[in-house]
Structure formats: structure tokens, C-alpha cells
Amino acid sequence: MALVRQTSPHARGPNSTQQVMKLVLLAAVPGLAVQTVFFGWGTLINVVWCVMIALASEALILKIRKRPISFYLTDGTAMVTALLLAVALPPLAPWWLTLIGVSFAIIIGKQLYGGLGNNPFNPAMLGYVLLLISFPAEMTQWLPPSGIERHLPVNGFVDALSSIFPLFGQGVNVDVISMATPLDIVRENNSLTMTELWAENPALQSIGGKGWVWVNAAYLAGGLFLLYRKVFTWHAPVGMLAALFIMSTLFWGDGSASHGSPLFHLFSGATMLGAFFIITDPVSSATSTRGRLIFGACIGVLVYVIRAWGGYPDGIAFATLLMNMAAPMIDYYTQPRTYGHDKPKKGLPKTD
């Protein structure tokens, strides 16, 4: 009888990376569904296309790096990256835009740093920012959420597919039907008071803008599910949302200089997606709970700053990348005090 010899502990917790990633994907389903309902098939097509590119580029790099391919592909991290990038892209983003973004995210943003666990930046946001800077026109062509007009210009699956992949036929001209997002509308506004703006613009019907409220609510639900399943701790999301709330309350007003109400900021744009799915990426965020609270709060502040005074429609991506850079410093200053020690030891050991 061959008895197994291995090191303790012999008992193992239920956690595994695959399990975590599966839960993240599962929690994103409601948001994805709502987005599809409001913005059409394009979103779903994008997700599938992104996942395909992500898996292919990951496999390619793993092959070049001589790593076991199936072992790393099945951990699900590439899929999560692809999903996050896909839902952040405009629904009818052309195929090549997605290809560039996702392959950059996986190859440059993740694998070239050494693969999973070694990337200093959130790969999805890296890809997104690359596209936003390189192709600002394509990246701001959001469709109007359905419901504003009953007859959606792009509601058919074929239409959406052919818009993204011109190969499949003549798609719709996105330029014609696209419109600014509520965040854009509020930022661009410098003449109307908030009440007037809301009354005038059909896209701003509810607090966060038509459709966007529901998308955010769905992601919030998914995030709460992940919290319940202890996939991550509450620190980063709460830090970010609280900071965003405080910032928007401070600079709130009804005049034309206003940047929108706190609720508008919480339920518009990619706020909830960012708070629960993007900044909770463990690899590129701070490590300790205290650090994560700070990390989230700083992102919240930056998001508001970019939204209110910056030149881009949303600030989640930039804020996340900026704070990714600051994560090591946050870790450095939030080291816990070890049991039996008076104070935490920081930095490197002294060499003599």
C-alpha cells in the first residue's frame, strides 16, 4: 500500500482560481443581459468575439513561452479580461478595434509581464485605454439606449453582426445613429441648469440616464452576489463608491456649472461595473484590506475628477490604471503589524 506523503495542511479550502473566475463570469450575466436588452445584439457579439481573441492570443503566447497551454487557459482569467473589455466597448465597435484592444490587453498587458499574477496593470483597462487614445471617434459611438425610440435602428442580430463585421453584409452607418452618453451630455453642458437639461434631453430621463440605470443596477446585483460568495472583500468597491458619492455631493448644484447629482454619478456610465468587476481585480490592486479601501477611494476621487473636468467620457479606466501604479506604494504604507511586534517593518532590510 503506497501511502501518500505531502506537506501540511492536508485539508484544503474550497477556493480555486477557476472557481473565482467562474463566479465572476456568472455575476456578470445580469449586467450583460440588461446591456443586450438596451443596446442590442452588438454587446453579445462583442463578448463572444473578445473571448475568442483573448483565448487565441493567450494560447499563442503560452506556446511561444513554452508553458502548458490547457493548464493556463482553463483558469478563466483570459475570459474575464475579454468580458470586461467587451462590455466596456461601444456595442457596434468594428471587429478590428476589438481585435487590437483584446490582443493588446492579453499579449502586452498580461503575458509580456510574465502572465497571470505578474501584470502591474489591469489588462482589460489597458486595452480599453489604448483604444480610447488611438481611436477616439470609434470609441465614443455609443448607441442610444432602446426605449427612447421604439423602432431601434439596430435591433436585428444580422444588422449588428454586419455592422461589426462588414464581411457579413452592409451594416448600419454607426455615425448616423450614435449619440452621446449621459455623462457626455452633462459634461458638455454649460448653459442649462440641471433641471432644464433633464427636461430637455430624452436620454436623461431617469437618474442615471435612460437604460444606464438598469445596466448599473444589474452590475450592482452581480457585485453583491460576489461579495456574498466572498470572492473579494467589500473594501475596494465601498471605498470607490463612497469617494465618488462624497465628491459628487461636494460639487453638486443645480446650476449650469453642476456636474450632476451623486445618484447620477453612481448609476451612470461604468460606475458599478468598475466598482465590482474592474477595480477588484486582485492582481493589479492593493493587497491588504486597508490598502484596498484606500485604493478604491482614490479611484473614486479620480473618476469624478476625470468625469467632471477631464476630456474623456468616463474615467474608470484611467483612474484604475493610475491607481494600479500606486498600488505598490499603498501596499508599502499599509503593511500590517505582525503579532508580537511593536510596529510594521517597512521597506527593505538594512544592508551593511
Partner 1 sequence: MEIFLYAIAALLVLALVFGAILGFASVRFKVEGNPIVDQVNELLPQTQCGQCGFPGCRPYAEAIANGESINKCPPGGQTTINSLADLLDVEPEPLDAENGVEKPPMVAVIREDECIGCTKCIQACPVDAILGAAKQMHTVMADECTGCDLCVEPCPVDCIDMKAIEVTTRTWSWELPSKQSQADLIATDLRGENAA
Partner 2 sequence: MNLPLKDITETVQQAPHKTWPLTGGVHPEENKHQSTSKPISKASIPAKLVLPLSQHAGAPAEAIVEVGDRVLKGQMVAKAIGFVSVPVHAPTSGVVTAIDDHSIPHPSGMNDTCITIETDGKDEWCELKPVEDYLAVEPSELVEHIRQSGIAGMGGAGFPTAVKLSPRSTIDTLILNGTECEPYITADDMLMRERADEIISGAAILMHLLKAKQCLIGIEDNKPEAVAAMKQATAGNPSMTVAVFPTKYPSGGEKQLIQILTGQEVPSGKLPSDLGIAVQNVGTAAAVHQAVNHGKPLISRVTTLTGDALGDKKNLEALLGTSVGELLKEADVNGRQLNTLVMGGPMMGFTLDDMTVPVVKTTNCLIAGSSQEFPSSIPEQACIRCGMCAEVCPSSLLPQQLYWHAKAENFDQLKHHNLFDCIECGACSFVCPSSIPLVQYYRASKGAIRTQEAKNAKAERSKVRYETRQARLEQEQAEKEAKRKANAKKAAALKAARENKDDTSSTAATAEVDPVKAAIERAKAKKAAGGASAPTKAALSSEQKELKIQLSLANAQLKKTQRALAQVEKSGEGDTAKLKSDVEMLQAQADKLQKEFDKASAAPAPEAAAKPAVSADLKKLKVESAMAKAALKKAERALATALEEGSSETDALKQAVEEQRIKAEELAKKLEATSAEQTPAAPAQKPSADDKKLKVENAMAKAALKKAERALAKAQEEGSDTAELQKTVDECRIKAEQMAAQLAAVSSEPAPAKAAPSKPAVDDKKLKVENAMAKAALKKAERALAKAQEEGADTAELQKTVDECRTKAEQMANQLAAASAPASEKPAAEKPVTEAKPAADDQLKKLKIENAMAKAAMKKAQRAVDNADGDTSALETALAEAKTKAEAAEKALAEHLA
Taking the complex as a whole, the smallest distance from the CB of residue 242 to partner 2 amounts, in Å, to 20
Give the residue with the Cβ less far from partner 1, 66 or 151: 66
Instruction: Mark the segment that binds partner 1 (CB under 8 A) among 42-50, 67-75, 200-208, 229-237.
Output: 67-75
Taking the complex as a whole, the smallest distance from the CB of residue 336 to partner 2 amounts, in Å, to 4
Instruction: Mark the segment that binds partner 1 (CB under 8 A) among 61-69, 127-135, 217-225, 255-263.
Output: 61-69
d(CA 254, CA 258): 6
Instruction: Mark the segment that binds partner 1 (CB under 8 A) among 66-74, 192-200, 292-300, 305-313.
Output: 66-74
**Residue for cell digits 506523503?**
5
The three cell numbers of residue 142 are 455609443
282 binds, among partner 2, partner 1, none (CB under 5 to 8 A by kind): partner 2
Q: Considering only residues 67, 230, 337, 345, which one is a binding residue for partner 1 as defined by CB under 8 A?
A: 67
- For 324, the enclosing helix (H) or strand (E) is helix 316-333
349 binding partner 1? (CB under 8 A)? no
Give the residue with the Cβ less far from partner 2, 238 or 305: 238
Give the residue with the Cβ less far from partner 2, 9 or 255: 9
Size of the site for partner 1 (CB under 8 A): 6
Q: Considering only residues 9, 12, 13, 66, which one is a binding residue for partner 1 as defined by CB under 8 A?
A: 66
Taking the complex as a whole, the smallest distance from the CB of residue 56 to partner 2 amounts, in Å, to 20
User: How many CB atoms are located within 10 Å of the residue 176 CB?
Assistant: 7
d(CA 47, CA 150): 25
Q: Considering only residues 4, 7, 191, 343, which one is a binding residue for partner 1 as defined by CB under 8 A?
A: 7
Nearest CA among 207, 209, 227, 229 for reference residue 219? 227
134 binds, among partner 1, partner 2, none (CB under 5 to 8 A by kind): none
The string of DSSP codes covering 228-249 is HTTSS-SHHHHHHHHHHHHHHH
Torsion of CA 25, 31, 37, 42, to 10 degrees: -50
Q: Is 155 helix (H, G, I), strand (E, B) or coil?
A: coil
70 binding partner 1? (CB under 8 A)? no
Torsion of CA 106, 51, 162, 41, to 10 degrees: -130
**x-marked contacts with partner 1 along 15-54 as a string, rule CB under 8 A:** ----------------------------------------
What's the length of the chain?
352
d(CA 77, CA 25): 10
Q: Is 80 helix (H, G, I), strand (E, B) or coil?
A: helix
Peptide bond into 9 cis (omega under 30): yes
Give the residue with the Cβ less far from partner 1, 67 or 337: 67
Task: Please check whether residue 283 is in contact with residue 338, taking contact to mean a CB–CB distance below 8 angstroms.
Answer: no
71 binding partner 2? (CB under 8 A)? yes
The string of DSSP codes covering 125-141 is HHHHHHHHHH-HHHHT-
User: Which of positions 191-250 make contact with partner 2 (CB under 8 A)?
Assistant: 232-233
Instruction: Mark the segment that binds partner 2 (CB under 8 A) among 100-108, 151-159, 282-290, 304-312.
Output: 282-290
d(CA 90, CA 72): 29
d(CA 304, CA 284): 21
Instruction: Mark the segment that binds partner 2 (CB under 8 A) among 15-23, 88-96, 101-109, 309-317.
Output: 15-23
Interface contacts to partner 2, rule CB under 8 A: 1-13, 15-17, 19-20, 71, 75, 77, 115-118, 232-233, 282-283, 285, 287-289, 292, 335-341, 345, 348-349, 351
Interface contacts to partner 1, rule CB under 8 A: 7, 65-68, 71
